[in-house]
Amino acid sequence: MSMKLWIRQFGLKIWNKIEDHIAGCIAAAIVGILAVLFWEWVTNEHSVELYGWVWLLLCFVFVFLLVHFILTMFRRPKKLKDPADIRNVLSKWWRHAKEQCPDQTEFTLYFSSIDRNERLEKGSAKKYLQEVIMKDTKWRVVRKGSDTLSAKRNQLRQEDMFKK
């Protein structure tokens, strides 16, 4: 991968994070402004004329939205546990890794980082990654340790090189 492409992709990742942060700040500001406006309306002398059930309904809606917002913000994504889903994710991850570094002939892959980054159940990469790599006929597993796996691209035979 060229350095220029890598810098551009890195810059895009940073820009996406900045956009997400700005959107979160704007959403928090809007919620804050609405809360202040709602509080002013609630304390206004004309709002005392509303019936009790309307107040109760408004309070329930406000509490529901607040709880829903908080749970959405702090909910952790679920980890994949189904073997077929895990194989699909690892297959996509492997294709992406090869596309990112097309000139690289050997990879050392860390199971724990793959599990964490792809939100897989602990030990899933260790269990299924070798199978995914072996399906790719251009690559082979050289060594498999307790924490890592080393994959190497198969060398082209002389006859195959002349066909190209």
Give the percent of the chain with pLDDT over 70: 87
Give the residue-averaged pLDDT of 14-41.
86
Token output for 142:
């050289």
pLDDT for res 158: 47
Q: Do residues 118 and 89 make contact, with C-beta atoms less than 8 angstroms apart?
A: yes
Q: What is the spatial distance between Cα 81 and Cα 83, in angstroms, rounded to a whole number? A: 6
Asked if pLDDT for residue 48 goes beyond 60, the answer is no
Tell me the pLDDT tens digit for each residue of 111-155.
999 998 888 888 999 999 999 999 988 899 999 999 999 999 987
Residue 57, CB half-sphere, CA atoms under 13 Å: how many?
A: 5
Q: pLDDT grade, residue 55 (50/70/90)?
A: confident
Give the percent of the chain with pLDDT over 90: 31
pLDDT for res 75: 77
How far from 2 is each of 6, 9, 12, 106, CA to CA, in Å? 6, 11, 16, 18
